Amino acid sequence: MSLPVPDRDAQAASDALIQLISDDIARAGGAISFARFMELALYAPRLGYYTGGSAKLGTAGDFTTAPELTPLFGATLAHVAASFMDQSASHLMEFGAGTGKLALDILTEAARSGIVVESYTIVELSGELRARQQALLADFPQVRWLEGLPERFEGVVLGNEVLDAMPVQLVRRTEQGWRELVVERGPQGFAFAERAPDAALAARIATQIPAAGDLPPDYTTEVHAVGTGFMASLAQMLKAGRGAALLFDYGFPAHEYYVPPRIGGTLMCHYRHHAHPDPFYLPGLQDITAHVDFTAMALAAQDAGIEVLGYMSQAAFLIAAGIGELLLRTDPEDARQYLPQSNAVQKLVSPAEMGELFKVLIVGHGVALPDPLARADRSHRL
């Protein structure tokens, strides 16, 4: 691969993480699950991708998210959140807030439009990102930070590109049946090996992958145990009161996810705006993600006691939620101001960009989907 070369400090941090992961493999008897490798690569204290000090988002980072493109994304969410808060409580919670840009745009729009937000809680594991968020959001005293989920919450929960960063297990279909791909450390570095899945993983494969017997040999894919566990915890938090969670991410329902053409799975890595498939490249310096199985996420929430309120493409959500009307607050005759925002909105809703690949899953308890979003709902496709 022809990718940018890291500087000396970044390379040293990656080397330290390689040693930490290698030690973990040795303690485990020679192999760890890919989920464990991904957990350490992304979240190991001070060395993981999300817990280290390198820039992650925007033009200087490795990828760009919707809030980084335009404040209209957050402004649109502020009005949707208001419709749910009117049915529950005036509290917002965001998981994995990145630079804090989404929180800034939501709170700015709330102040502009008279939307009451009594508290805005950010659940953030990264100390480095938390410090950036605190600096950006210093003018909003209702913002507070937590490192884990509270037992109970009423209001609106937001997660933009959170589920795709949760560790996944990798499995491969062979002539002997499904095998788990695990990570070993050899003379040339980290490498995959196969082992029989344990009972828990075998049950997840049987539950999550429809028509698994029809998939071709060597079919490799992901199993989302951490993501579904998160959804169950989220449901436990919400069902004690009233509220909704809106989760934005790229992915598919199961019947589109586990199909023969996707024989290599969806695992992807991002390093300085380069996408590539090697999860062992520069651990700690690159993002590792997998597309979201939205069927599994919806069922996990439902099984834990809350409702699936809606599922739709990001384009359908944003258009129904009124992003076009918010765009027109900028005079189209003022090309210098209007065109950058118009181009950003186009990227968010275009089928060729983020509009169709990104989906929105809405789950909740004791609240109803606003009418414009109800008309866009496609949860029957889950």
Domains of the chain, by residue range, sit at 1-167+224-382
Residues 6+ apart with CB under 8 A from 337: 330, 331
Which runs of consecutive H residues, i.e. helices, occur in 190-306?
A: 199-208, 225-238, 254-257, 294-303
Task: Tell me the longest C-alpha to C-alpha distance in the chain.
Answer: 66
Cα separation of the two ends of the chain: 37
Separation of alpha carbons 16 and 28, rounded Å: 19
SS3 content of the chain, % helix, strand, coil (to 5): 40, 25, 35
Question: Which CATH code is given to the segment(s) 1-167+224-382?
Answer: 3.40.50.12710
Separation of alpha carbons 221 and 114, rounded Å: 46
What stretches of the chain adopt beta strand conformation (E)? 32-33, 91-95, 119-123, 143-146, 155-160, 169-174, 177-186, 189-195, 220-223, 243-252, 268-271, 274-276, 287-289, 292-293, 307-313, 358-365
Separation of alpha carbons 332 and 329, rounded Å: 9
Q: What is the pLDDT of residue 125?
A: 83
Q: Which two tokens stand for residue 123?
A: 């659940």
User: What does the DSSP 8-state code read for residue 290?
Assistant: -
Residues 6+ apart with CB under 8 A from 228: 296, 297, 299, 300
Separation of alpha carbons 249 and 247, rounded Å: 7
**How confident is the chain (382 residues) per 10-residue block, as mean pLDDT?**
84 96 98 98 93 59 82 98 98 94 98 98 89 96 94 97 97 95 96 97 94 91 97 96 97 96 96 91 95 98 98 98 97 96 97 96 98 97 96
Q: What is the pTM of this model?
A: 0.95
Q: Could you give the 3-state DSSP secondary structure of residue 96?
A: coil
Q: Which two tokens stand for residue 62?
A: 């490795």
Separation of alpha carbons 84 and 82, rounded Å: 5
Residues 6+ apart with CB under 8 A from 230: 163, 166
Helix (H) or strand (E) holding 120: strand 119-123
Q: What is the pLDDT of residue 4?
A: 82
Q: Which two tokens stand for residue 76?
A: 């649109």
- Hey, what amino acid is at 36? R
